[in-house]
């Protein structure tokens, strides 16, 4: 698109919000987080049933900001739980939309990302719908997939978009290429994922969607298998209740009654001993996972990057850093600028730096 200012609409559906942003080339000219009350979303049996509700809100916001959809060149959505993919930028097609709607790997708010991007792009001649580094990005080495029983295998579901974007940002900051570095990236959000990045590929990572790995504000993390089996067959809990214990109502929420890391930090500062201890537990578990990934990379680690919303909690970061900085230099990238990451990936397509891949699962 030589000689034309590229305009990009980025859409990031979350469990209780929809973020939208408009970019002109690299400049964000509009950013809005639309909050959704639980009462609003509870009307819908499944996440994908929220499509019309969220679509109307997006168009309402764009209209109020005088953003005309006809001016948009690319709509890029957060990637959903489709079948596993290599990382990269994909053009959204009907098959991807159908698989998100079916929930072929599960139901999550991110499934709405490709659906919304595809619908909006279809309204504008010449506009393309994209996703980049979806949560199902899978570059695991075969040895990382194998478990102790052939009926089980490890899968890759993690914060690929933010992990990859931060890794690229860090590589540029040290005048290197992402593809030439070995990095460990820990994303600390409502879920926690810790990935081993080797030469531009995430060769091992915990399945954050299923609650594997460290605990988080609302996920239990890996639990003792024997105790979990006994609980499942106790007759006291349904499948859905056990699932909620592991994902959604575990971690900080189960121990402290809130999944708000800022509130827990405030509790610690006010002298709450249990809040402090649980922060120490989370820091301990994240550090242990980083150590595991260091062995995956055979100790050849150029840097450890800590990112996500909880990277703003200095005490938690300190707890992790003091346990792992002997492995490699630790750099903190607070927050998760997924909107910018999506826009930059769309821009790479617009400028011909990459060609969109085809979803053909």
Quick one: which of 293, 27, 318, 316 has its CA closest to 183? Answer: 293
**In which band, very low, low, confident or very high, does the pLDDT at 1 lie, cut at 50, 70 and 90?**
low
Sign, Cα dihedral of 309, 313, 320, 260: negative
pLDDT reading at 3 higher than 80? no
- Residue-wise pLDDT tens digits, 162-198: 999 999 999 999 999 999 999 999 999 989 999 999 9
Q: Tell me, what's the pLDDT at 263?
A: 94
Given a contact cutoff of 8 angstroms between Cβ atoms, the answer to whether 122 and 68 are in contact is no
- Residue-wise pLDDT tens digits, 346-358: 999 999 999 999 9
Q: Tell me, what's the pLDDT at 339?
A: 92
Q: Tell me, what's the pLDDT at 173?
A: 97
pTM exceeds 0.85 for this model: yes
Q: Which two tokens stand for residue 36?
A: 């959704």
The CA distances from residue 189 to 102, 138, 219, 264, in Å, are 26, 20, 10, 14
Q: Tell me, what's the pLDDT at 69?
A: 84
Given a contact cutoff of 8 angstroms between Cβ atoms, the answer to whether 335 and 120 are in contact is no
Q: Tell me, what's the pLDDT at 337?
A: 79
Q: Tell me, what's the pLDDT at 14?
A: 84
HSE (CB half, 13 Å, CA atoms) of 270?
8
Classify domain 7-138+338-358 by CATH architecture: 2-Layer Sandwich (3.30)
Q: Tell me, what's the pLDDT at 164?
A: 94
- Residue-wise pLDDT tens digits, 201-257: 999 999 988 889 999 999 999 999 999 999 999 999 999 999 999 998 999 999 999
The CA distances from residue 204 to 63, 146, 154, 293, 303, in Å, are 43, 11, 10, 7, 16
Average pLDDT over the chain, rounded to an integer: 94
- Residue-wise pLDDT tens digits, 108-141: 899 999 999 999 999 999 999 999 999 899 999 9
The CA distances from residue 93 to 27, 53, 90, 239, 267, in Å, are 27, 22, 9, 34, 47
pLDDT reading at 4 higher than 80? no
**In which band, very low, low, confident or very high, does the pLDDT at 35 lie, cut at 50, 70 and 90?**
confident
DSSP 166: H
- Residue-wise pLDDT tens digits, 57-94: 999 999 998 988 888 999 999 999 999 998 999 999 99
CA distance 112 to 134: 12
7-138+338-358 with 160-334: one CATH topology? yes
- Residue-wise pLDDT tens digits, 257-313: 999 999 999 999 999 999 999 999 999 999 999 999 999 999 999 999 999 999 999
Given a contact cutoff of 8 angstroms between Cβ atoms, the answer to whether 91 and 129 are in contact is yes
Q: Tell me, what's the pLDDT at 106?
A: 87
**In which band, very low, low, confident or very high, does the pLDDT at 37 lie, cut at 50, 70 and 90?**
confident
Q: Tell me, what's the pLDDT at 88?
A: 93
Q: Tell me, what's the pLDDT at 361?
A: 82
Given a contact cutoff of 8 angstroms between Cβ atoms, the answer to whether 91 and 126 are in contact is no
Domain ranges of the chain: 7-138+338-358, 160-334
Quick one: which of 314, 318, 328, 197 has its CA closest to 266? Answer: 314
The CA distances from residue 121 to 124, 130, 155, 308, in Å, are 5, 9, 31, 29
Domain 160-334: what homologous superfamily? ATPase, nucleotide binding domain (3.30.420.40)
């Amino acid at each position: 698109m030589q000689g034309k200012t590229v305009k990009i609409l980025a859409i990031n559906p979350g469990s209780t919000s929809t973020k939208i942003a408009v970019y002109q080339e690299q400049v964000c000219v509009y950013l809005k987080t639309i909050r959704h009350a639980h009462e609003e979303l509870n009307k819908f049996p499944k996440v994908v049933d929220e499509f019309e509700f969220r679509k109307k809100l997006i168009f309402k916001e764009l209209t109020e900001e005088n953003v005309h959809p006809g001016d948009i060149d690319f709509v890029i959505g957060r990637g959903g739980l489709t079948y596993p993919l290599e990382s990269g930028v994909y053009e959204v097609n009907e098959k991807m939309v159908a698989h998100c709607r079916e929930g072929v790997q599960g139901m999550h708010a991110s499934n709405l990302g490709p659906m919304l991007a595809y619908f909006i792009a279809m309204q504008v001649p010449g506009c393309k719908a994209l996703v980049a580094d979806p949560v199902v990005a899978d570059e695991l080495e075969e040895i990382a997939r194998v478990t102790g029983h052939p009926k089980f295998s490890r899968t890759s579901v993690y914060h690929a978009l933010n992990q990859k974007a931060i890794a690229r940002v860090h590589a540029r900051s040290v005048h290197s290429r992402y593809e030439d570095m070995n990095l460990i990236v820990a994303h600390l959000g409502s879920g926690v994922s810790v990935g081993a990045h080797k030469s531009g590929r995430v060769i091992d990572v915990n399945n954050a969607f299923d609650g594997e790995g460290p605990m988080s504000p609302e996920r239990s993390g890996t639990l003792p298998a024997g105790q979990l089996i006994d609980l499942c067959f106790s007759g006291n809990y349904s499948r859905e209740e056990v699932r909620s214990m592991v994902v959604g109502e575990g971690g900080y929420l189960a121990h402290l009654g809130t999944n708000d890391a800022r509130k827990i930090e405030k509790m610690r500062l006010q002298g709450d001993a249990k809040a402090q201890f649980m922060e120490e537990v989370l820091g301990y578990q994240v550090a242990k996972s980083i150590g595991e990934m260091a062995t995956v990379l055979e100790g050849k680690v150029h840097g450890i990057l800590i990112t996500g919303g909880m990277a703003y909690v200095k005490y938690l970061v300190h707890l992790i850093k003091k346990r792992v900085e002997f492995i490699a230099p630790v750099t903190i990238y607070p927050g998760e600028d997924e909107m910018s990451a999506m826009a930059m990936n769309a821009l790479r397509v617009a400028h011909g730096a990459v060609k969109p891949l085809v979803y053909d699962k």
